[in-house]
Amino acid sequence: MTLLDIRGLTVATTFGAPIIEGIDLQIAEREILGLVGESGSGKTTLGLAALGYARPGSSVTTGSIRIGQEAILGRTARDLRRLRGRVVSYVPQDPAAAMNPARRIGDQLADRVAHRPRAERSNLIIRALQRAQLPAEPAFLARFPHQISGGQQQRALIAMAIVAEPSLVVLDEPTTGLDVVTQAALLSELNALHDQIGASLIYVTHDLAAVSTIADSVAVMYAGRIVERGQLREVLSRPRHPYTIGLMESVPDHGRPTKLRGLPGVALGVGQWPVGCPFEPRCRQAQLDCTLAMPNFETIHLDHAVRCFHWRQTPPIAVHEPLRREQLADREAILTVDRLCAVHGRGADQIVAAQYVSLTVRPGECVALVGESGSGKTTIARCIAGLHKPAAGTIVLHGQKLAALAGDRSRKQRQHLQFVFQNPYESLNPRHTVGAILSHAAAMLRNLPESTARNEAARVLDEVRLPASSVKRYPGELSGGERQRVAIARALIADPGVLICDEITSALDVSVQAAVLDLLGNLQAAHGLAMVFITHDLGVVASIADRMLVLNRGVICEQGNVSDLIVRPTDEYTKRLLEAAPRLELAATGIGSTT
């Protein structure tokens, strides 16, 4: 039976520009729907609409939403508060920002069941904690959010979402940024949770590989509309919309390393939609009629439908040639790290982050540091960059021993060793234009005059495939993928020999990620750039790295050529990482899917 029934839903800004438009979507009881698309496609807006909520600056203009017997739209704020948590609940992406830092975990859980008789509340809270794999103990309930780990915060949010036993749970990017082991555990827990509570789930994500391990069906969104909908295996084994194929070809697969193909162009923003098909500017099979009118949904068979005039001409997913790597062993090392040790804290609170880590990187080579969160990857990278003082060990660049901290290194040494941070939102000055950010880096590190620095800024923007007009824009006016390209451009304008990339693709859409990885690969080939690449994504490692070091609690447990370690790992920890990493290819062939 249908649980969620959405008809003709449109959410628009206060200026009348639609954010999502004409959405028809039905979800059955106990069904898990994967809602997939790039940033800005309208996924979160649709998920929030199921709660009767539109973000500030927007509102629901047309349509209807029913969950079971309850109509969601047109209700008072008081009625909606009564329904949220009991009929439909929401798990936001960022647990640290979603929970009240001033209230204890137990109090925040109790708020969700305040409508239930007092005698039932305690049992409901204990059951929710147990289902979310959290300790149902007074000591845990008495903690504040900052006193529990990030993984526990995520589970606490899930417990808050299910404590009132709703019929529908909306999960918004719950695994973004998690390492593969934690992600696999959370997805397994969500599957078990789904079986226990019998609720329907909407899983909002850009990660098709993660969706393939949990969902029954999938809906692909682009520019505020659903462009393909159907059973998971049907859509992944024979996608009919060119956009769906583009997303799938952008997903890296550690089991079959290939050069990734990113989607051409960029996704359209709100207010930029054309008269015809919004995907037409990026589509490989677009024709004249695609520019004249919006395609309607057309049923292929059963419940597989697609919004495309020419879906019959959509080719199968391309099988690319395996990636072949250049042999670099005969090149002299540009960067050498010898027996590096690093710690956090002091005295009794001291934590060892890295123990006797040694590595070498050659010109044109990419060395990946791989491991779970807390394995020491980022600390090692920060030590190399001079942002964290090592407790022991040496770092040698171009044959010269580097000072422990960047401030004590020469300008030439800082120029030749550049760092690209994980979060471009925090690493770019929001009050400076892109042109000012790049020109300042060129002037400071290369001592270039102002006019030459401006010319260099234009050059590197072209190199990272951003329009020249970007120099006048501020970081807040850019998308996440564009910001990350600016961060890469800022590092490249220094003309470095070594680039350290710290989880730079972890929060990007798969299509943007593919474009960034393709860009870095081309820069490597063109400039002989050496890279230290920190990531938890083994698919990314297989697509870009030559060698990898597997870290477990600050210790290298295994290292070697990527192709060898992926096929023949010897350490149990490496095997566990590989087993936990999701593979879209397996799900598309019906092998390994848990649904």
Give the 3-state secondary structure percentages of the chain, helix then strand then coil, rounded to 5: 40, 25, 40
Which DSSP helix (H) or strand (E) runs through 244?
A: helix 242-249
* CA 419 to centroid of chain Cα atoms: 20
Pairwise pLDDT comparison (171 vs 177), residue with the higher score: 171
Strand 32-36 relative to strand 217-222: parallel, antiparallel, unpaired? parallel
- Please determine, for residue 257, whether its predicted confidence score (pLDDT) is greater than 80: no
CA atoms of 532 and 571, how far apart (whole Å): 22
- What share of the chain in percent tops pLDDT 90? 57
In whole angstroms, what is the distance from residue 257 CA to residue 583 CA? 12
Distances (CA, A) of 243 to 40, 45, 157, 308, 556: 14, 20, 32, 10, 40
Higher-pLDDT residue of 509 and 66 is 66
- Contact indicator for 23, 9 with CB cutoff of 8 Å: yes
Q: pLDDT-derived band of residue 327, with 50, 70 and 90 as boundaries? A: low
d(Cα 556, Cα 548) in Å, to the nearest integer?
10
Domain boundaries, the chain: 2-87+168-188+196-313, 99-165, 335-581
Q: How many residues does this entry show for the chain?
A: 595
Reported as a single tens digit per residue, the pLDDT across 276-286 is: 999 999 998 99
pLDDT of the residue at 592 = 38
Q: Inform me whether the pLDDT recorded for 572 exceeds 90.
A: yes
Of the candidate ranges 53-57, 519-523, 590-594, the one whose mean pLDDT is the lowest = 590-594
pLDDT at residue 287 greater than cutoff 90 = yes
Q: Classify 2-87+168-188+196-313 by CATH class.
A: alpha beta
CB atoms within 10 A of CB 98: 17
Query: Which two three-digit tokens encode residue 64?
Result: 């209807």
| Angstrom distance (rounded) from CA 186 to CA 174 | 9
The tokens describing 96, both together, are 């640290």
Query: Where are any strands of DSSP class E within 261-420?
Result: 298-301, 304-306, 335-344, 351-361, 366-370, 392-397, 400-401, 417-420
Per-residue pLDDT band for 595 (boundaries 50, 70, 90) equals very low
- Where are the alpha helices (H) located in 366-410, listed in sequence order? 377-385
Q: What is the pLDDT of residue 155?
A: 85
* Tokens at 51, concatenated: 């709660």
Task: Say yes or no to pLDDT of 521 above 80.
Answer: yes
Tell me the fold of 335-581.
Rossmann fold (3.40.50)
pLDDT band at 244 (very low <50, low <70, confident <90, very high): very high
Question: What are the DSSP calls for 531-560, one per residue?
Answer: EEEEES-HHHHHHH-SEEEEEETTEEEEEE
Could you say which DSSP state residue 468 is in? G
Q: Which residue's entry shows tokens 């008789």?
A: 117
For residue 398 the two structure tokens come to 């171009």
Helices 480-492, 434-446: inter-axial angle, 10-degree rounding: 20
Q: Do residues 362 and 395 make contact, with C-beta atoms less than 8 angstroms apart?
A: no
User: What number is the average pLDDT over the span 233-259?
Assistant: 88
**Are the beta carbons of 253 and 584 closer than 8 angstroms?**
yes
Nearest CA among 345, 344, 346 for reference residue 383: 344
Q: What is the mean pLDDT of the chain?
A: 88
Expressed in angstroms, the distance from the first to the final Cα of the chain is: 19
Q: Which tens digit of pLDDT belongs to each residue from 291-320?
A: 999 999 999 988 899 999 999 999 887 766
Predicted confidence (pLDDT) per residue in 206-238, tens digit? 888 888 889 999 999 999 999 999 999 999 989
State how far the Cα of 196 lies from the Cα of 190, in Å rounded to an integer.
10
Mean pLDDT of 550-567: 92
pLDDT tens profile 401-453: 999 999 999 999 999 999 998 877 778 999 999 999 999 999 999 999 999 99
Whether the CB-CB separation of 532 and 367 falls below 8 Å is answered with: yes
2-87+168-188+196-313 and 335-581, same CATH topology: yes
* Predicted TM-score of the model (pTM): 0.84
CA nearest neighbour of 92 among 149, 24, 156: 156
SS3 assignment, position 206: coil
SS3 (DSSP) at 433: coil
Query: Mean pLDDT throughout 171-188?
Result: 81
pLDDT of residue 593: 37
